Structure 1
């Protein structure tokens, strides 16, 4: 049933887009941006988010990202060339790219604290440091959607749906802590919406670049996969396992996301 839905959705999107991949990417990017924004709007109604809710949401997103990194990005990169080299090089480039951004761009995590050049710490307000951190996390997700759509529309749609599902709690995780810190609602919601549209921009950039340079697509798929894996392993997993008493909850959240993405991906078989 879901397989038929995805096939019908792919046909409908191609029809309304006249087969133009950039219009397909626009609709996919808009979808993830809107879902993220809806998650951010939760800050209107709630005063705070339980810490366990944050941990479960992040662990769910981590599970989705781990599976998507392989099934929608790394493995298709290998299959498209019957070679490990382009995928392997792409993964390494993705890791190095996010590592460099992580080190050079000032940002602040709610748990780990400040990361980036020390000279920049006092120049930026904490709210902007937090928003930059979220945007850094969202860029690989947008790139994953854009590159997977260029590779294969159905694979890209599955990736879009999965990323969208985990973007709702991510939008909430952005806006609610900021609302708690600032004792305001409008600006934190705007920041959550901004993070979603930053992800949409990356969808369009990835789709446009790899449409122009299609011979680089296997490297791009690997790059997006490596970038998502780096964010998941280096940033998300350490944060969600920081409290030993929540280990069972976050493990369940991780595997919930893992199975959701795996189930969606199985619809392609």
Structure 2
């Protein structure tokens, strides 16, 4: 059933875009940005969110990202080239890219606290530091959608659907803490929208670059996969388990995301 839906959606988008993958990428990016926005709208109900809710949202997103890194990016790239080398180089570059961003862009995690250049620590408001942290998380996801659409439209759309699903709780993650800290509603929602727009831009950047430099696509798939793995393992998992509370719920959230992405991918066989 899902396979028929994705095939029909692929054909519809190709017809709508006259076969232009950039237009397809535009719609896919719009979808993930809207899902982030819908999650951000829950900031209106911030007082009703349980303490463990943000951790479960993050863990669900982590489960989706772990599976998507392999099933939508790394393994298809290896199969298409029958070689590990370009994918391995891409993974390394993806890790290096996010490490550099993580090292030099000031941002603040909810639990781990501030990361980035110390001289900028007191020059940005807490609101922007949290938003920058979420944008860093979202960049590999946007890149993953854009590159996978260029590689294979059906795989790309499944990736967009899965990323969109997990962007809903990620929109909650960026907006609710801000709403709680500031006792406001509009500004946190706008910050959540901003993080979704950043991801949309990365979808377009990834699709545009690898449409032009198609020979580099295996490296791009590896790069997106490595970047997602780095963010998940280095940032998200330590963040969700740092509290050492509600570990069963957090773990259940992770495996729910894991199963959702695995199910979506397996339906296309």
Q: Give TM-score scaled by structure 2 length.
A: 0.98
* CA–CA distance in structure 2, aligned partners of residues 201 and 258 of structure 1: 26
For residue 245 of structure 1, give the secondary structure of its aligned residue in structure 2: coil
* CA–CA distance in structure 1, aligned partners of residues 209 and 143 of structure 2: 10
* CA–CA distance in structure 1, aligned partners of residues 184 and 56 of structure 2: 25
Partner of 1:169: 169
Determine if contact 1:48/1:180 at 8 Å carries over to the other structure: no
* CA–CA distance in structure 2, aligned partners of residues 217 and 62 of structure 1: 24
1:45, distance to aligned residue in structure 2 (A): 3.1
Partner of 1:199: 199
Partner of 2:113: 113
1:248, distance to aligned residue in structure 2 (A): 1.2
Give deviations 1:149-191, integer Å, cap 9, x for gaps. 0000000000000000000011011111101111111110000
1:70, distance to aligned residue in structure 2 (A): 0.2
Give deviations 1:55-96, integer Å, cap 9, x for gaps. 111111000000000000001111111100000000000001
* CA–CA distance in structure 2, aligned partners of residues 203 and 245 of structure 1: 35
For residue 50 of structure 1, give the secondary structure of its aligned residue in structure 2: coil
* CA–CA distance in structure 1, aligned partners of residues 72 and 40 of structure 2: 27
1:209, distance to aligned residue in structure 2 (A): 0.2
Determine if contact 2:46/2:180 at 8 Å carries over to the other structure: no
When the two chains are superposed, the root-mean-square deviation of aligned CA atoms in Å is 0.8
The number of aligned residues is 269
Give deviations 1:41-60, integer Å, cap 9, x for gaps. 11123325222111111111
Determine if contact 1:48/1:177 at 8 Å carries over to the other structure: no
Determine if contact 2:108/2:130 at 8 Å carries over to the other structure: yes
Give deviations 1:209-228, integer Å, cap 9, x for gaps. 00000000000000000000
Partner of 2:86: 86
Determine if contact 1:135/1:195 at 8 Å carries over to the other structure: yes
1:246, distance to aligned residue in structure 2 (A): 1.7
Q: Give unpaired runs (5+ residues) of structure 1.
A: none
Partner of 2:157: 157
* CA–CA distance in structure 2, aligned partners of residues 245 and 177 of structure 1: 18
1:142 corresponds to 2:108: no
Q: Give unpaired runs (5+ residues) of structure 2.
A: none
Partner of 1:34: 34
* CA–CA distance in structure 2, aligned partners of residues 93 and 110 of structure 1: 27
For residue 47 of structure 2, give the secondary structure of its aligned residue in structure 1: coil
Determine if contact 2:63/2:257 at 8 Å carries over to the other structure: yes
* CA–CA distance in structure 2, aligned partners of residues 196 and 82 of structure 1: 35
Q: Give TM-score scaled by structure 1 length.
A: 0.98
